[in-house]
Chains A and B, each alone.
Chain A
Amino acid sequence: MKEKQTPVLSVRGLKKHFKTGIGRNKLLIKAVDDVSFDIYKGEVFSLVGESGCGKTTTGRTIIKLYEPTDGEVFFLDKRIGAGYQSLKEEIKEVKKNARQGIKENPENAEKIKEERDKKIEELKNEIAQRKEDTAREDKVLMKKMQMIFQDPIASLNPRMVVKEIIAEGLRIAGEKDPDIINTRVNEMLETVGLLPEHASRYPHEFSGGQRQRIGVARALAPSPEFIIADEPVSALDVSIQAQVINLLNDLRDEFGITILFVAHDLSVVKYFSDRIGVMYYGKLVELAPKEELFKNPLHPYTRSLLSAVPLPDPNYEKTRKRIAYDPSVHNYTEEKPSLHEIKEGHFIYANQEELEKYKKELK
């Protein structure tokens, strides 16, 4: 692992819950539920999982397209996103405990109340701090984080020419000089392998792969350090897929950009990334360097996912057996699971009992 010491992005206990419906149709969807990971400088970190497992929501919450429900996101050692649901719950808990305490020993009431108020004060301060930290967006910092979207057709404004699309980020960041903007746009076009004359064309005049390149150029224009690529190749043909992956690979080598890669195609993920996180229903179930993950998949869901990858090899395909994942193999009634480091760099979501089992399998 290169330069492991500096995490560019740290996610701690991130939760994003969506509330839908009213009355008895009320539904709380835990799209992302307590996810923690670090992304180090210059690496490609991939999130994989089936559709609806919360990998896109994670990416979007990190870049603050959504406000997190709980947990914190640190970018370059600065808190950029934080939710405070758990703190609120803690206040409730403290109040309840205090009430309980007063009921049991009424003579200590004064002392308990004092303690309670102190604790609540602390927590409220923390909430206020989090609110303040995240209320005003640090534009200079957020400029360093950019996103590439899945659908190259839907994510480009059809009424803007390519130059306007790419320059929009610069303009928002306050750049007014047309010369600087022009040179920057041309520079970006060259980086992604397009020609300067493409700048005055509209998105519909390009093919799918070229459109995705425009999306990449737009993300690169404000010279970011960190890019979130949300399924950038899923909507593309095989041959064009290779172009875009090669481009992203070059960018990483050239500019040292750190990438969070969200995808469901495991062969692309293995080719492209350094470390892989497997998500299942809002939880991160396994996290490991790619060789380790493909060699020693431990979580049953990871195994099922790996067994479903089709390969261009008829003889292998005719004998391949898919392993089905049944979530009921886990017995979490007695002990709640959490993320454990089973081997250096290899994390797994399990409780103590399962951890023992996995450890045996690892040997």
Chain B
Amino acid sequence: MAKDKKLVVEDLTVSFRTNQGLVRAVRGISFELEEGETLAIVGESGSGKSVSSKAIMGILEGNAIIDKGKIIYEDEDLTTISEENYHKIRGNKIGMIFQDPLSSLNPIMKIGKQITEALIINGNHLKNRYKELIHQVKMDYENSKIKKQNLIKDFKSNKSRLKEEGKQEEVQQFKEQFQKDILEINQKIKDTKEAFKKEQISAKKKVADDWKQEKERVAKEIQAIKEKMASADRETRKTLKEEVATLKENLRRYKKVTKKQAKERAIKVMEEVGIPQPERRLKQYPFQFSGGMRQRIVIAIALTLNPDVLICDEPTTALDVTIQAQILELINKIKTERSLSVIFITHDLGVVANMADRVAVMYAGKIVEIGKAEEIFYNPKHPYTWALLSSMPDLDSKERLAFIPGTPPNMLFPPKGDAFADRSKYAMKIDFEKEPPFFKVSDTHYAATWLLHKDAPKVEMPEIIKKRIASMAKAPKEVNE
């Protein structure tokens, strides 16, 4: 494909440890997010759409395990990097907007502080620089420590196994090998630790020296201006004073993100998301805002750090139609202005039609159909997509609504075969036995259903959808004048 791939998810599998056993929330999903596109993930509640977005953000709950799979962002696999490295990506590169604007804001903290919080926390430039300098050696040191732990673990389990099997000689041999390894690794830990300590001192000195130099440079400039000031008249003295003030501020900004700088940034972002009178609004609390305004603030917080991927987890479900339309317009506007790539999670197909370039339909932890928005809406192939489309009343439907019988499967015991087979009237025998692979419909459109197999009986999509698609083609515009 011609466009750059911003984010690639490969065979991602996430489970939750619970008292009942492993809940398999996401079972091997793969998709790509291209630059500047909106990918919508649709599905019922419990289909794993939120879990996969949380996995990308690295904010899964403590009992979650990523069994396998990769999330590749800028040539790095996000499932393997350490928490510390994640800090650089989370918020800075990948931003997220949550569902409920009320519960994702702190009720006892002023809006201004909430927006600038991340900027100020991440904004100690000297500290960041120091961390960057020691990063490599630190990683070496930590990695060798982890290696030692793994070795010991390995040894213990292997030793007991060999002892049970009664192979005394091999145990002895194994022990010797292990001791050799341990010695080696101990030496390595010692070396890396020394290097780390040394690097720490030198980095500290380097950063301090830089800071000192900068300070001296500014002090000299200020001194020069002050000398000028003594012989200047009143007008020029005023401008010179201002110059000194900006110099001082810049020096402070060299050290860290100052409150003033953060506030300026916050006001700019608030204007961008359409909050009127940002200076006054900064001093207010979340309860003084309406639902739509709160959601705008949540978006503003996500935007302060300039992410290039934005994950929206049902951003308009808690809002009513008019406000929803405003927020969707806003997200679309920001997307084109900043050329963001957006992952948009929702269960409202109307919203999807508005927002999405491509749509992925999820069911029971799997993507069952993926394609361009037009392909999904005008040429759906999977029975679950049919069911979703036909259960939604649109402005013209009069006949009885089709609903999906039964409930989503219990993910403690994920079904064999096609997960939707139990609830689908199109299910064939093979659907209960073997999992369908992705069948290609067009270059961009894939669906996982046996109905597309060349031996499958020809099945037409339900009447309702056919009628609806026909009516869409006929009269696309009616309400807007």
Residues of A within 8 A of B (CB): 50-52, 207-208, 237-243, 245-246, 249, 264-268, 270-272, 294, 304-323, 325
Q: Which of B312-342 contact A (CB under 8 A)?
A: 319-326, 328-329
CA distance A313 to B324 in the complex (A): 17
B349 touches A304 (CB 8 A): no
> From B290, which residue of chain A is reached at the shortest CB distance?
A52
> From A270, which residue of chain B is reached at the shortest CB distance?
B395
Q: Residues of A contacting B350 with CB < 8 Å?
A: 267, 309-312, 317
Partner-contacting stretch, out of B16-24, B192-200, B401-409, B427-435: B401-409
B325 touches A313 (CB 8 A): no
Known: A238-B349, A239-B44, A267-B395. A315 touches B476 (CB 8 A): yes
B382 to chain A, nearest CB (A): 14
Q: Residues of B contacting A243 with CB < 8 Å?
A: 403
- The answer to whether B443 has its CB under 8 Å from any CB of chain A is no
A267 touches B374 (CB 8 A): no
B316 to chain A, nearest CB (A): 9
Q: Which of B375-417 contact A (CB under 8 A)?
A: 377-378, 387-389, 391-395, 397-398, 400-404, 407
Q: Residues of A contacting B476 with CB < 8 Å?
A: 313, 315-316, 319
Q: Which of B186-228 contact A (CB under 8 A)?
A: none
B347 touches A242 (CB 8 A): no
- The answer to whether B354 has its CB under 8 Å from any CB of chain A is yes
- The answer to whether B472 has its CB under 8 Å from any CB of chain A is yes
- The answer to whether B104 has its CB under 8 Å from any CB of chain A is no
B22 to chain A, nearest CB (A): 21
- The answer to whether B421 has its CB under 8 Å from any CB of chain A is no
Q: Which of B280-330 contact A (CB under 8 A)?
A: 290-291, 319-326, 328-329
> From B316, which residue of chain A is reached at the shortest CB distance?
A310
A242 touches B402 (CB 8 A): yes
Partner of B480, one of A249, A267, A272, A323: A323
Listed A/B pairs (7) with beta-carbon separation below 8 Å? A51-B323, A266-B395, A305-B322, A307-B479, A310-B321, A311-B353, A316-B476
Q: Residues of A contacting B356 with CB < 8 Å?
A: 314
CA distance A310 to B479 in the complex (A): 11
A314 touches B377 (CB 8 A): yes
Partner of A322, one of B329, B348, B387, B402: B329
Q: Residues of B contacting A320 with CB < 8 Å?
A: 354, 477, 479-480
CA distance A294 to B398 in the complex (A): 14
- The answer to whether B352 has its CB under 8 Å from any CB of chain A is yes
A310 to chain B, nearest CB (A): 3
A270 to chain B, nearest CB (A): 5
Partner of B472, one of A294, A306, A315: A315
Q: Residues of A contacting B392 with CB < 8 Å?
A: 238, 241-242, 267, 312
Interface size on B (CB < 8 Å)?
A: 48
Q: Residues of A contacting B326 with CB < 8 Å?
A: 322
Partner of B320, one of A50, A240, A268: A50
- The answer to whether B29 has its CB under 8 Å from any CB of chain A is no
B423 to chain A, nearest CB (A): 9
CA distance A241 to B329 in the complex (A): 26
Partner of A314, one of B374, B388, B403: B374
CA distance A249 to B472 in the complex (A): 26
Known: A50-B320, A51-B320, A313-B353. A239 touches B479 (CB 8 A): no
Q: Residues of B contacting A322 with CB < 8 Å?
A: 325-326, 329
CA distance A306 to B472 in the complex (A): 17
B353 touches A239 (CB 8 A): no
- The answer to whether B45 has its CB under 8 Å from any CB of chain A is yes
Q: Residues of A contacting B45 with CB < 8 Å?
A: 208, 237
Listed residue (B290, B323, B391) with the most chain A CB atoms within 10 angstroms of its CB: B391
B291 to chain A, nearest CB (A): 7
A264 touches B353 (CB 8 A): no
A316 touches B477 (CB 8 A): yes
A245 touches B393 (CB 8 A): yes
Given A238-B347, A242-B391, A312-B377, 6 new contacts (CB under 8 A): A242-B392, A310-B324, A311-B395, A312-B350, A314-B353, A320-B479
B391 touches A239 (CB 8 A): yes
A73 to chain B, nearest CB (A): 26
CA distance A34 to B46 in the complex (A): 44
Partner of A245, one of B324, B373, B401, B404: B401
B349 touches A265 (CB 8 A): no
Q: Residues of A contacting B387 with CB < 8 Å?
A: 239
- The answer to whether B351 has its CB under 8 Å from any CB of chain A is yes
> Top 8 A-B pairs ranked by shortest CB distance?
A310-B350, A271-B393, A242-B403, A308-B325, A242-B391, A312-B349, A242-B401, A317-B354
Known: A238-B388, A317-B353. A50 touches B322 (CB 8 A): yes
Partner of A310, one of B325, B378, B388, B402: B325
Q: Residues of B contacting A306 with CB < 8 Å?
A: 479
B391 touches A266 (CB 8 A): no
B375 to chain A, nearest CB (A): 10
The contact string, 1 if C-beta is below 8 Å from chain A, for chain B 442-481, is 0000000000000000000000000000001000110110
Q: Residues of B contacting A245 with CB < 8 Å?
A: 393, 401
B195 to chain A, nearest CB (A): 56
B262 to chain A, nearest CB (A): 32
